[in-house]
Amino acid sequence: MSLLLIRHGRTQGNIERRYIGSRTDEPLCQQGIKELQAREYLPVDYIFASPMKRCLQTAEILYPNAELRIVDDLRECDFGDFENLSYQELNGRADYQAWIDSGGELPFPNGESRATFAARSVCAFKQSIEALPKYDIAFVVHGGTIMSIMEAYARPKGTYFDFQVSNGDGYLLEGNGIYQRLL
């Protein structure tokens, strides 16, 4: 069993470096579509995807003939009051500075904490692979979702921020936790 963890393609919010989480359901931008079409990914039997447009479009581009299963709890973190805002728009706000000072551990104001989000993501991942234990599977999800899963399962161990990936990139994770970058 091989597990591909693929971050969705680029969106306009990604280009503008905005916090695009579970509240903003934006599609891929044309640049993101072209970037995905130019890459090749390993074949899989099944796809599990976040319900967000950017993930569903990515899954359709990469694996148009694979069976797709939507898993609601694989969606990105709820960034609360920071949703759809950029660093420039948040810089100078006391709530943003407090979140930065906490190393990202405080809950987003009116949103999720990283711990709650990670627990949700990891649980959804575990349930998904238990449903199809003998197949090669792609997870088309969000950067934070991948970071949470990799922090929990990857060997050698790493921290959440060690597993950041660009749009369309990700990891190949073997059943024993050994991984490699998709690049």
Q: Domain containing 33 — which CATH number?
A: 3.40.50.1240
pLDDT for the residue numbered 139: 98
pLDDT for the residue numbered 178: 84
Mean of the pLDDT values across residues 43-60?
A: 97
HEC-encoded secondary structure of the chain: CEEEEEECCCEHHHHCCECCCCCCCCCECHHHHHHHHCCCCCCCCEEEECCCHHHHHHHHHHCCCCEEEECHHHCCCCCHHHCCCEHHHHCCCHHHHHHHHCCCCCCCCCCCCHHHHHHHHHHHHHHHHHHCCCCCEEEEECHHHHHHHHHHHCECCCCHHHHCCCCCCEEEEECCCEEEECC
Task: Evaluate if residue 183 carries a pLDDT over 70.
Answer: no
pLDDT tens-digit readout, 134-155: 889 999 999 999 999 999 999 9
Range of the domain at 70: 2-181
pLDDT tens-digit readout, 59-93: 999 999 999 999 999 999 999 999 999 999 999 99
Domain total in the chain: 1
Regarding pTM above 0.85, the answer is yes
Task: Evaluate if residue 166 carries a pLDDT over 80.
Answer: yes
pLDDT for the residue numbered 179: 86
